[in-house]
């Protein structure tokens, strides 16, 4: 029973080597996208970023003008 609880301690070099070996074996199983897929998803991301930037610019402009008008009205 006591023998079952003992865990063999690996040195940090051995554990690092085992970790890197696990990474290599996992990376061999990865299915990488082809060039067309990468280009299309990149285009979608770039277009989405510009759309969100334009949206936030519009909202910021509206809020700025509204708050400036409210501040001007309250100061008078």
pTM summary value: 0.59
CA distance 12 to 29: 26
Give the residue ranges of the chain where pLDDT is below 50.
none
- Residue 71: how many CA atoms within 13 Å on its side-chain side? 6
What letter would DSSP give residue 67? H
- DSSP assignments along 5-52, one per residue: H--PPPPHHHHHHHHHHHHHHHHHH-----HHHHHHHHHHHHHHHHHH
User: What pLDDT sits at residue 9?
Assistant: 73
User: What pLDDT sits at residue 10?
Assistant: 77
User: What pLDDT sits at residue 66?
Assistant: 97
User: What pLDDT sits at residue 74?
Assistant: 92
Question: CB under 8 Å to 41, separation ≥6 — which residues?
Answer: 33
User: What pLDDT sits at residue 11?
Assistant: 86
């Amino acid at each position: 029973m006591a023998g079952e609880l003992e865990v063999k301690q690996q040195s940090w070099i051995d554990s690092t080597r085992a970790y890197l070996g696990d990474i290599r074996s996992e990376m061999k199983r990865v299915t990488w996208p082809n060039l067309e897929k990468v280009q299309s998803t990149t285009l979608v991301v770039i277009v989405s970023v510009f759309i969100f930037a334009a949206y936030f610019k519009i909202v910021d402009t509206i809020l700025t003008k509204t708050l400036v008008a409210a501040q001007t009205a309250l100061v008078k």
